[in-house]
A and B are shown apart, each in its own frame.
Chain A
């Protein structure tokens, strides 16, 4: 595919002028270093947010209040959500983009390396502010990650300002990351790599980056209005002053719905890289995958109010948002059908990335189908704000987004370290995660349908048996991730068998043409794509 010469890469490391120790990481403008920072940060946040989920599941293990008070329970659900969305999934995808986009398009680095450093290094401060608010008198944010007004304004505690500022910083980081991705992809592709030759991971990230730039400022607006309503006497969301609390939800979900696609489109890209590799067959419909991604992104701007069917919208609004939401299942179906058609009559092997991808396709499809059920307005009245919704979005976000990130880690880790990771540990990690995650989230469908509301610290007795199983699944899933931690530590210590440049038999693309491990600087002379 390319004519990049190997000799060029071999003396790359002579050009490294990096400081040693902590200063290397603080000052780095190298996309690989910054990406590793992003990925480790995301994984640490995943464990922190996961620890909060353990508190939630411990309290819900039995009916009655045993471990935490309701107010602290609400802080746990709120901060768990914020950390997993803004601290784990989004930085992990940004990290993957940082590592892989330059390697996949044949660029030497990201287009704006100093901004790249800045967009990472403000993140730890954002989460330090958010987490420290938990230790304030009155506690941290307790109004849900969706921070509906007026619960988050008039009725919130004193740490709300810290919440607002931390969200602002997370937003700034995401916007800078997105700008960097767009500028890199549009300007730094290797000669010959037209847009329609780009790997799908690059395509999905390009579209995601546009979504980020479009909606993160809307989130910034929403938190700013919360700030001024609470502290400066404005009445954006207060009917007594001429405002409207439901307007908050419209603004929030205008951000929030594209946000969920921000967390799943890069996952689609990852799966579209991995499935052809291990099926040893070309992706069935490359162009239709690109168009499907773009349609999902466009539709994501006109479906936000399906989160708000019970707020008392006019009938016409309910019908419009129901139909628009149902339409999204068409391009999403195209994606799933494409992956399955790619596997059809391939020569499939079942290495770790493929195992996670297969789990992704099955479990994401379950989450997608329950999403279609939720789109049906009259039935959504019953599902809304129950555990059925919790089951739905954890299927698309945990077995969807998070599994895709793990698939990506297992796919590209040998390229990053030059060594094959411990596949026995990886098998343990996969099977323990797969079984426990379903024990964790599948029964949530049942308790939700039976009528258990979400975000409650205690529940009626008929939900007790399933909740016990859900909690056991939760603890097991949490512990399973420690296997992944052990595997990553071993991999970072460069233990394991050396791998070839191509690593996987069926792998194609520029990233497999640089040496393993990928040297500090790559593609200083651009490869030529035919």
Chain B
């Protein structure tokens, strides 16, 4: 009997120690117990602060519980003890008021120092504008003409348990943010609709994205790598599906990457201009449109076009999707202010917008037979 008990305790201890050991690894691990140490000086300081205060709390807690335990064992009525009659002691009461004060001061000083360092966003090497919207992030490099949206890349079939989940389930995006290591990167954080919160645990950066206001944060990453986080403020239906992925590259690699991105974005713009003179056929529009619909529209209007009654309107059988084509283009391009319908003018190319509008007018029994071309969208956007 007693042996079994010892075995159980030994098992529990070995479980705890392996778990603690695993927690010191930077890679995610089932049964991670502790905060990540992260890969910046600040995140390391935050981790140290966390451990300091945690240990202080454990000591205080253990002290209180030990006294309680002692009383419940030795001062129990069933042992036949007579209760003491003492109460009120100014000395004791002053002591247990002042002692916590002193402990608090020792905790507040390093905390304040770290906080001051975290809020100092001056002298940044590069600046990235981070904009949240339902339910994606947009990154714009303020020093270079590069900008893009970053959407969750996990497939719906994985979420619906039809496919096996990959190791980065819900923590993977189509286009990660890329930043250089060893440089001070400043983030300007804002939102296009509701409040979001941009969080990368490995940098100890979490800052709310408030619509109409710009917040600042910064990081200086010490090690190249891929760092994953999530939106941390409830932002509606797909709040849980809005990951943040940041790749930190050596400065030289970063420079090469940003130059390449600039070139790609320049070519894409040229391609857009060429497209204006061309017509795509229905089959091509529908196939591109279906893909765009799945990433940009299906979250609200649902894959079957039926929306969520009372929350997001149906496109299947809707008046706009069946009749008023100009209004349809207008809604996609400009959005509807004061509602969850956002503007796609910057999120999608002309071709993609044309394709998705065509798709919406010809899918799920919406049989208008009409095609929309890039030049139609351009005409509405630029008035020619």
Contacts and interface: CB of A to CB of B under 8 A. Distances in A.
Interface of A: 63-66, 70-71, 74, 136-139, 142-144, 148, 150-151, 154-155, 157-158, 238-240, 244-246, 279-288, 310-312, 315, 318-319, 322-323, 326-327, 329-330, 333-334, 336-337, 340-350, 358, 361-362, 365-366, 369-370, 372-373, 376-379, 381-382, 384-386, 446, 449-451, 453, 455-466
B225 interface: no
Given A282-B85, A312-B208, A343 B240 contact: no
B348 interface: no
7 contacts: A148-B233, A157-B311, A238-B212, A310-B208, A369-B57, A446-B33, A462-B32
Contacts of B206: 310, 381-382, 384-385
A236 to B, nearest CB: 13
A456 B216 contact: no
Contacts of B134: 155
Given A138-B309, A143-B234, A281 B84 contact: yes
Nearest to A373: B53
Contact of A280 (B77, B231, B309): B77
A382 B53 CA distance: 14
B75 A343 contact: yes
B262 interface: no
What range describes how many residues of B lie at the interface? 35 or more
B104 A239 contact: no
A456 B340 CA distance: 20
Given A345-B83, A348-B76, A466-B31, A358 B68 contact: yes
Nearest to A354: B72
A337 B240 contact: no
A322 B230 contact: no
Contact of B71 (A280, A285, A312, A340): A340
Interface in B90-143: 92-93, 96-97, 100-101, 104, 107-108, 111-112, 114-116, 118-119, 134
Contacts of A326: 104, 107-108
Interface string B210-232: 11110110000000000001111
B49 interface: yes
Contact of A71 (B64, B77, B201, B237): B237
Contacts, number: 304
B169 A337 contact: no
B104 A330 contact: yes
Given A239-B213, A244-B212, 20 more contacts: A70-B237, A71-B308, A74-B239, A137-B309, A151-B194, A151-B195, A155-B339, A239-B212, A279-B75, A282-B87, A311-B208, A322-B112, A322-B115, A340-B64, A373-B57, A381-B206, A385-B197, A449-B33, A451-B36, A458-B240
Given A138-B311, A151-B234, A449-B35, A330 B75 contact: no
A74 B234 contact: yes
Given A310-B206, A349-B78, A382-B206, A244 B308 contact: no
Contacts of B204: 378, 381-382
Contacts of B12: none
B4 interface: no
B338 interface: yes
B194 A155 contact: yes
Given A326-B104, A347-B76, A379-B50, A154 B339 contact: yes
